[in-house]
């Protein structure tokens, strides 16, 4: 499907966070191919530049900012939202680490919640007035299978992603009448640098990787493109009946 004018005057522009890597990069590529004018955000300028250079379509703007810093959303992203009609927000940037609750420090808890949940809330709050005014908009929050079930050694992460799912549903309920749809995707384990980081201090990294693959019914990790396809569906006309939904893309991780 093709998009509107290059400045996004028809259905607006798509803003994707965490676009410097993995699922965010694949989502940026997919939405550009779908015809969305795109704005990309990441805290890692070098990696974001690689995404922009490799996308094969013009990127309207790319912003290097740390979404946990209050000024990033209040000032830098707010300035973009003032200039451009954001019709699609993909809240993808996220962090995670392995620890039980007992082994989680206050700082780890705060950092995880600040990005995975508070920044998602603040970005939704920022773009909603424009969407409501235009009576049209779509938000896709990248949650996790860990927001639906308890995963071992992911206490803060699971709490943050369950919060994202609750926020998604509440926003859908509040804003359906405004023409805004809000959905989440709950991916299983997807082969990105994230996984490499999780395995970095694992004394049996190959064994843990095999376990992560085998707990999914296809016996493999998902690809970033498979999650990006879900974003494309939810954001496009075929996804119009989805609101307050959690699209589970996990090859059965949470089903069996
Ligand atoms: N990979 C998986 O197995 C998996 C599974 C379920 C859900 N998810 C979710 O998908 C999303 C993307 O994961 P991924 O695997 O592509 O991760 P990734 O680590 O490959 O990419 C995350 C991106 O977010 C950026 N980022 C991190 N902190 C930031 C901050 N404070 N401000 C701005 N940008 C920041 C990073 O620079 C990076 O480019 C995350 O929300 C994650 O929780 C991933």
Which of 16, 21, 29, 223 gets mutated to test ligand 1 (max ligand atoms within 8 A of its CB)?
Answer: 21
- Evaluated on CA atoms 124, 126, 132, 135, the torsion sign reads negative
Q: Is the pLDDT of residue 1 over 60?
A: no
Span 30-45, mean pLDDT?
98
Residue 225: pLDDT band (50, 70, 90) is very high
Q: What is the pLDDT of residues 232-245, one digit of tens each?
A: 999 999 999 999 99
Residue 22 CA: nearest ligand 1 atom is 16
Q: What is the DSSP letter of 44?
A: -
Report whether 137 contacts 179 (CB < 8 A). yes
Distance CA 95, CA 250 (A): 19
Question: Which residues' Cβ are closer than 6 Å to ligand 1?
Answer: 18, 20-24, 42-44, 47, 66-68, 92-96, 115, 142, 144, 187, 189-190, 192-195
| Interval 171-196 mean pLDDT | 97
Give how far Cα 132 sits from Cα of 139, 158, 172, 235, Å. Answer: 12, 31, 12, 16
Phi then psi dihedrals of residue 171, to 5 deg: -65, -40
Res. 201 pLDDT band, cuts 50 70 90: confident
pTM, to two decimals:
0.96
Condensed to tens digits (0 to 9), the pLDDT of residues 60-74 reads 999 999 999 989 999
Q: Could you tell me which CATH number the domain at 13-187+224-246 has? A: 3.40.50.720
Question: According to CATH, where is 3.40.50.720 located in the chain?
Answer: 13-187+224-246
Report the share of the chain in percent with pLDDT over 70.
Answer: 96
* Residues noted as catalytic: 157
Q: What is the pLDDT of the chain when averaged over all its residues?
A: 95
> Would you say 104 and 156 are in contact if contact means Cβ atoms under 8 Å apart?
yes
Distances (CA, A) of 184 to 18, 136, 162: 16, 18, 11
Atom of ligand 1 nearest to the CA of 94: 41
């Amino acid at each position: 499907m093709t998009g509107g004018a290059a400045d996004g005057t028809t259905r607006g522009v798509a803003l994707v966070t965490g676009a410097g890597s993995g699922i965010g990069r694949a989502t940026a590529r997919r939405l550009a191919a779908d015809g969305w004018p795109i704005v990309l955000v990441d805290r890692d300028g070098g990696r974001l530049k690689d995404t922009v250079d490799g996308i094969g379509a013009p990127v309207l703007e790319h912003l290097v900012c740390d979404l946990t810093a209050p000024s990033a959303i209040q000032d830098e992203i707010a300035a973009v939202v003032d200039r451009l009609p954001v019709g699609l927000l993909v809240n993808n940037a996220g962090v995670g680490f392995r620890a039980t609750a007992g082994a989680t420090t206050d700082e780890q808890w705060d950092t995880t919640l600040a990005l995975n949940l508070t920044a998602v809330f603040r970005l939704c709050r920022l773009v909603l007035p424009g969407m409501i005014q235009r009576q049209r908009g779509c938000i896709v929050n990248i949650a996790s299978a860990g927001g639906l079930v308890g995963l071992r050694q992911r206490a803060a992460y699971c709490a943050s992603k369950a919060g994202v799912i609750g926020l998604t549903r509440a926003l859908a309920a509040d804003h359906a009448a405004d023409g805004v749809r809000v959905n989440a995707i709950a991916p299983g384990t997807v082969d990105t640098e994230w996984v490499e980081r999780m395995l970095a201090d694992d004394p049996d990294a190959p064994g843990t990787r095999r376990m992560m693959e085998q707990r999914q019914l296809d016996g493999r990790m998902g690809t970033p493109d498979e999650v990006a396809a879900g974003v494309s569906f939810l954001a496009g006309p075929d996804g119009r009946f989805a609101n307050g939904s959690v699209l589970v893309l996990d090859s059965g991780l949470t089903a069996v």
